């Protein structure tokens, strides 16, 4: 959009998510907030989703002994 201030948009987004990130007291809670942020900001076909799914899947396989 012409005339849109990208820096201002980023600052507003950061202000929007900051309370939730700061309130996340455990690593699990923080990951939940970060995934919510990604869902709100990234397209369905963003390559980050495939990379995250692969990495998380690998970790879960190793942590559960392949179960």
Domain boundaries, the chain: 6-63
User: For 44, which DSSP code?
Assistant: T
Task: State the residue for tokens 């923080």.
Answer: 30
Residue-wise pLDDT tens digits, 12-58: 888 888 999 999 999 999 999 999 999 988 999 999 999 999 999 99
Closest C-alpha among 50, 26, 22 to residue 38: 50
Instruction: Pinpoint the alpha helices (H) of the chain.
Output: 6-23, 27-41, 47-63
Given this model, what pLDDT does residue 2 score? 62
């Amino acid at each position: 959009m012409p005339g849109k201030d990208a820096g201002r948009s980023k600052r507003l987004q950061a202000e929007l998510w900051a309370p939730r990130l700061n309130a996340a007291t455990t690593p699990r809670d923080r990951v939940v907030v970060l995934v919510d942020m990604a869902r709100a900001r990234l397209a369905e076909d963003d390559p980050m989703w495939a990379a995250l799914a692969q990495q998380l899947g690998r970790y879960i396989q190793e942590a559960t002994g392949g179960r």
